Structure 1
Amino acid sequence: MKSIGLDTSGKMIVKGPQKASGVLTVSGSKNAVLPIMGASLLTDEDVELKNVPDLADVRTMIEILESSGKKIDRIEDRLIIKSSGYINSEIPYEPVRKMRASFNVYGPLTLRKGFAKVALPGGCSIGARPVDFHLDGLRRLGIESTIEHGFVTSKLTDIMGSINISLPFPSVGATEHVLTTACLLEGVKTTITNCAIEPEVTDLVNFLNRMGAKIFGAGSSILKIEGVKKLSGISYNIIPDRIEAGTYIILGKLAGENLTIKNVSADHLNSLFSIFENIGSPILYDDIKREVTVTKANFDILKNISMETSPFPGFPTDLQPQITTFLSLVPGRSTITETVFKSRFYHIDELNRMGAKIRVEDNTAIIEGVNKLSGAPVEATDLRAAAALLIAGLVAEGETVITNVDHIFRGYENIHEKLENVGIDLVYLK
């Protein structure tokens, strides 16, 4: 499993229905660790990150940091990021094309070197996600950008005093990029409004403040940053991955038999807990142990629901494909309106191949609950779609073959081993 990358399509073969029983432990957050790794460029001192998942995206960010001049040691779930004594601010296309979060090194590299040249980012095919919000915010911070031949080239200009930046949308990536860059503008006071308030943003703020940054308003939509001259190295523990936790909770509601999911932060998943409360299958959370125990829901008594995705604290778009799989089996008509990535419905056709009855009108999926799903050949179009189809395959009758499944290794550490440990039988083929 260690050799899995994104250059092979991969297949998973699963025969259902199956049951999951035992203990699953949630790994560190992918969406938290990636911007934190990028922010390590702001210091020449050693940074130790703990609870780091071993994922394709993390390996890609390691490659980018090494391209920029960092030396990185991995010891189990720890990363030690060290300076090599030089900074390279020109990052090649190959690693950046693999994921969107890679672009967040652009601002920090510009500050450290005075200029940077970074390829435009790639990632999952879930609709247009332009970097305009990033570049507009960075321009207010004195970073002028030029886009040519698929690369963005920056130039740092002098700036002083107070800066006010209002994001047109509470973009997680833009919020993280702008606040990280503003930290090292010594003597400059920056106010960012309409910020994303996702837990991963708060984790980044906490990390930077531990390094010596002066950021105020963590967890709110208004962040105030007082630029400092220098940031220090620290040791920092990454938060649990709420999307991994939510995925396994949904799996448990479909196929669980006293499935225990450990390392869960309930305050990061209130919207998911509310959904299950509203449909008649509450989630029981042990606050002391920080774990959830889940058994298959009684679909005979469940109520249908209308819901929508939205930025935190709303229901996360990254759990929409998985909850769609669940709702495809809930009696009656449910609807999901996607407000974040409006074209994030590529999994719908694949679920319909398995017997679901779902149609899409504009940015809303209309779901007519069916009694069962049937195994079929399907294709994963992105990371979360891959997870949704795997869950569907586990509860469907017969064999499901998921092609292009390697997306899943971008967001779920050791998923093959974790599922096998709770009794799930599946086959992965490169």
Structure 2
Amino acid sequence: MFEKIILRGGKRLSGTGKVGGAKNAVLPVIAASILASKGISRIYNVPALADVYTINEVLRHLNAKVEFDGSAITVDAQADLNAEAPFEYVRKMRASFLVMGPLLSRIGRARIALPGGCAIGSRPIDQHLKGFEAMGAKVTIGNGYIEATTNGRLKGANIYLDFPSVGATENIMMAAVLADGETLIENCAREPEIVCLATYLNAMGAKIKGAGTSSIRITGVKELTGASHDIIPDRIEAGTYMIAAAITGGDVFVENAVSDHLRPLIAKFEEMGIIVEQQLNGIRVIGPDIIRPADIKTMPHPGFPTDLQSQMMALLLKAKGTAVITETVFENRFMHVEEFRRMNADIK
């Protein structure tokens, strides 16, 4: 583990940056793989990140067979599954909680340690539990664990989310695919990662319509079968490369960047006078000599992504004029401001 990173700046970036698979897409897909009581799943374009290794260990603890070669994962979950994801795994990564929906759906019970692994906000899980209870699960919380059980299969339900939570949308969607009847999730998340998960589940035999819109309709099926699936490119990684090119006045081609996933950033770039060329297999960004200011307000997708807010603040520090950044998604996501001030940034 590096103790520090030394940067020697002042140079324009040029060349090509290749975007890998999206972390926020691969983790729910890996969790969903345990829904397959038949067949083997093969997941491609997987980033070799610590969170991926952690969720692989969670699946192994649940009695799934998992192999990872650094870019592809094979999951065999045909054996009887364990119902518990212990604290030693879940404390490292909140996304471990995403196995609750699949476990409830497939074996009718789940015992998951209360999640940790996040320093940028409270990220409550009440919307997940609200969905499970609406589908007939009995949920209890105590001794650091959340336990949920069902009497038979989950039942389809109409569920309205108080906030378009990505994690809740994913967890409820995974719970609903094997439920009796039809489930309607309203005011749900619309992120590309939701579409990626729904595409995988449908390849396994699920019946999901509306992913990418504010309402998702799921008709439960009797069983799912393992399937092959490619993880979408990471839009936050792509956006970070694009912002780095703009900051340095560079000329960078971001390979695998998907324009449709980056509309809010591209719109702001055009407002700021940054040149964006959308090409078949990526996006080219050319940073201008003078950057115009633009106000930013983070919102759930398709609004401006909160995960690019700090990078945009760095870019706006180069703009000729004043810009206002409003964070609406996470309450603690201005911790980088003090570090910018230490570098003589004028931020109020």
Q: TM class by shorter-chain length? A: over 0.9
Where does residue 248 of structure 1 map in the other structure?
241
Structure 1 stretches lacking a partner, 5+ long: 360-430
**Structure 2 counterparts to residues 84-123 of structure 1, below 5 A:** 85-123=79-117
**Alignment counterpart, residue 12 of structure 1, candidates 1, 5, 25:** 5
Using the size of structure 2 for normalisation, the TM-score is 0.95
- Cα deviations across residues 217-265 of structure 1 (Å, max 9, x unaligned)? 1221111111111001111111100000000100111125332210010
Question: What amino acid maps onto 1:147 in structure 2?
Answer: I
Q: 2 CA distance for matches of 1:131 and 1:182?
A: 17
Q: 1 CA distance for matches of 2:87 and 2:205?
A: 32
- Cα deviations across residues 254-306 of structure 1 (Å, max 9, x unaligned)? 125332210010000000000011111131121x2x2222233322xx32222
Where does residue 288 of structure 2 map in the other structure?
297
State whether structure 2 residue 124 is matched by structure 1 residue 130: yes
Task: Work out whether residues 21 and 256 of structure 1, in 8 Å CA contact, stay in contact via their aligned partners in 2.
Answer: no
Structure 2 stretches lacking a partner, 5+ long: none
Where does residue 149 of structure 1 map in the other structure?
143
Where does residue 237 of structure 1 map in the other structure?
230
Q: 2 CA distance for matches of 1:84 and 1:11?
A: 44
Where does residue 340 of structure 1 map in the other structure?
329
Q: 2 CA distance for matches of 1:163 and 1:110?
A: 15
Q: 2 CA distance for matches of 1:99 and 1:41?
A: 18
**Alignment counterpart, residue 17 of structure 2, candidates 12, 24, 44:** 24
State whether structure 2 residue 182 is matched by structure 1 residue 189: yes
**Alignment counterpart, residue 327 of structure 1, candidates 307, 312, 316:** 316
Task: Work out whether residues 89 and 109 of structure 1, in 8 Å CA contact, stay in contact via their aligned partners in 2.
Answer: yes
Change (3 A) 1:161 1:178: closer
Where does residue 277 of structure 1 map in the other structure?
270
Task: Work out whether residues 32 and 201 of structure 1, in 8 Å CA contact, stay in contact via their aligned partners in 2.
Answer: yes
> More displaced, 250-259 or 117-126?
250-259
Where does residue 79 of structure 1 map in the other structure?
73
* Paired residue secondary structure (2:257): coil
Task: Work out whether residues 40 and 81 of structure 1, in 8 Å CA contact, stay in contact via their aligned partners in 2.
Answer: yes
User: C-alpha displacement at 1:156, in angstroms?
Assistant: 1.1
Task: Work out whether residues 205 and 224 of structure 2, in 8 Å CA contact, stay in contact via their aligned partners in 1.
Answer: yes
* Paired residue secondary structure (1:165): strand
> More displaced, 244-253 or 85-94?
85-94
Q: 2 CA distance for matches of 1:177 and 1:67?
A: 19
**Structure 2 counterparts to residues 353-372 of structure 1, below 5 A:** 353-359=342-348
Using the size of structure 1 for normalisation, the TM-score is 0.78
* Paired residue secondary structure (2:212): coil
Task: Work out whether residues 58 and 89 of structure 2, in 8 Å CA contact, stay in contact via their aligned partners in 1.
Answer: yes
Question: What amino acid maps onto 2:347 in structure 1?
Answer: I
Task: Work out whether residues 135 and 155 of structure 2, in 8 Å CA contact, stay in contact via their aligned partners in 1.
Answer: no
User: C-alpha displacement at 1:79, in angstroms?
Assistant: 0.6
Where does residue 403 of structure 1 map in the other structure?
none
Question: What amino acid maps onto 1:292 in structure 2?
Answer: I
* Paired residue secondary structure (2:224): coil
Q: 2 CA distance for matches of 1:318 and 1:189?
A: 33
User: C-alpha displacement at 1:307, in angstroms?
Assistant: 2.0
Where does residue 193 of structure 2 map in the other structure?
200
Where does residue 352 of structure 1 map in the other structure?
341
* Paired residue secondary structure (2:118): coil
Where does residue 409 of structure 1 map in the other structure?
none
Q: 1 CA distance for matches of 2:265 and 2:231?
A: 21
Question: What amino acid maps onto 1:261 in structure 2?
Answer: V
Task: Work out whether residues 252 and 295 of structure 1, in 8 Å CA contact, stay in contact via their aligned partners in 2.
Answer: yes
Question: What amino acid maps onto 2:289 in structure 1?
Answer: N
Q: 1 CA distance for matches of 2:48 and 2:155?
A: 42
Task: Work out whether residues 256 and 294 of structure 1, in 8 Å CA contact, stay in contact via their aligned partners in 2.
Answer: no
**What value does the CA root-mean-square deviation take over the aligned residues?**
1.6
Alignment length (residue pairs):
347
* Paired residue secondary structure (2:184): strand
